[in-house]
Amino acid sequence: MVAHAAAVILAAVVIYTAWPGSSLFSWHPTLMVTGYGLLMTEAILMFSPESSLMINAMRKSKVRFHWILQAGAVVCAVGGLMAIYLNKERMGKDHFVSWHGLIGVTTVFYSVVQSMGGINLLYPKLLKSWMTLAQLKMYHATFGLLGYALACSSLALGINSNWFSQELEGMLWVVCLCCPAILALVIMQQVTTAYLGRRIKI
């Protein structure tokens, strides 16, 4: 349950600090932390044997909620990217000149592509001549883990940004900075245990 707590704490603090609607910029941190910190985290934890909020549900139901949450995460991410892009256009500032900006835009585009790969798992027969279902699951899990690591890196860099550092300081800032690391470690352990440790039959 540590991951759930970290996700909720991070999202709550960032959203409260940004106060969505107070400015165009406020939607950037709000949507990004909602998409990556909350929705994507819960989507992946859906399959955790220890931390799933639907432990007793059938796998079919878990899969359905997984892709619904992931779709919501991608929509939020795209919305967050649009918000910061339009805000910088309005302010006359350059785009993607910081590590946070570069990794952030990479993460968003990666998420869109990865979500397209997830659709293949809903219709595995489309690729049955190319790879087995087990292989498809492993590739989706592997590349999904990479995407989540990028997301957590971007969140951590955002927390370390000038804006957030000026808005929040002290122990609460440290807690927020630790949250993406906690989330990344928990998800990494879950995915590697469930998928990457298996031998895939070809």
pLDDT at 198 over 60: no
Instruction: Report the C-alpha gap between 42 and 25 in whole angstroms.
Output: 25
Question: pLDDT tens across 126-181, in order?
Answer: 777 788 888 888 889 999 999 999 999 999 999 999 999 999 989 999 999 999 99
The Cα-based distances of 58 to 47, 61, 65, 106, 123 in angstroms read 11, 5, 11, 34, 19
Question: pLDDT tens across 45-94, in order?
Answer: 999 988 999 999 999 999 999 999 999 999 999 999 999 999 999 999 99
pLDDT band with cut points at 50, 70 and 90 for residue 202: very low
Q: Are the beta carbons of 155 and 77 closer than 8 angstroms?
A: no
Residue spans of the domains in the chain: they are 2-196
Q: Name the pTM for this structure.
A: 0.93
Q: What is the reported pLDDT for 197? A: 60
Q: Is 120 exposed, middle or buried (0-12, 13-18, 19+ CB in 10 A)?
A: middle
Statement: 2-196 belongs to CATH 1.10.645.10: no
Average model confidence (pLDDT) across the chain: 93
pLDDT band with cut points at 50, 70 and 90 for residue 125: confident
Q: What is the reported pLDDT for 122? A: 81
Would the CA dihedral through 47, 52, 53, 57 be positive or negative? positive
